[in-house]
């Protein structure tokens, strides 16, 4: 089976992050939001596309 090294590294990092917060999703999200505020990168927010509001052709 073909292995993707980049994908494996992403899974490893995500697992380490989750483990550091005892798999508490709320704590993990709070940490990520805190890190996001500390970055100088521009954050682009795209509005969600709701299936009920799709435009029919």
- Per-residue pLDDT 10s for the chain (57 aa) are 788 999 999 999 999 999 999 999 999 999 999 998 898 888 777 777 776 666 665
Residue 14 included in any domain:
yes
Q: Has residue 33 been placed in a domain? A: yes
pLDDT at residue 9 in the model: 97
Write down the pTM of the prediction: 0.63
CA pair distance 37, 42, nearest whole angstrom: 10
Question: Is 29 inside a domain boundary?
Answer: yes
Q: How many domains does the chain have?
A: 1
pLDDT at 47: 77
Nearest Cα residue to 17 out of 34, 36, 7, 31: 31
CA gap 19, 12 in Å, rounded = 10
**Residue 19: domain span:** 5-42
Distance CA 10, CA 4 (A): 10
């Amino acid at each position: 089976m073909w292995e993707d090294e980049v994908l494996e590294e992403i899974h490893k990092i995500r697992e380490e992050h989750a483990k550091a917060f005892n798999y508490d999703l709320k704590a993990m999200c709070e940490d990520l939001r805190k890190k996001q505020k500390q970055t100088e990168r521009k954050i682009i927010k795209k509005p969600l596309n709701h299936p009920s509001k799709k435009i029919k052709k």
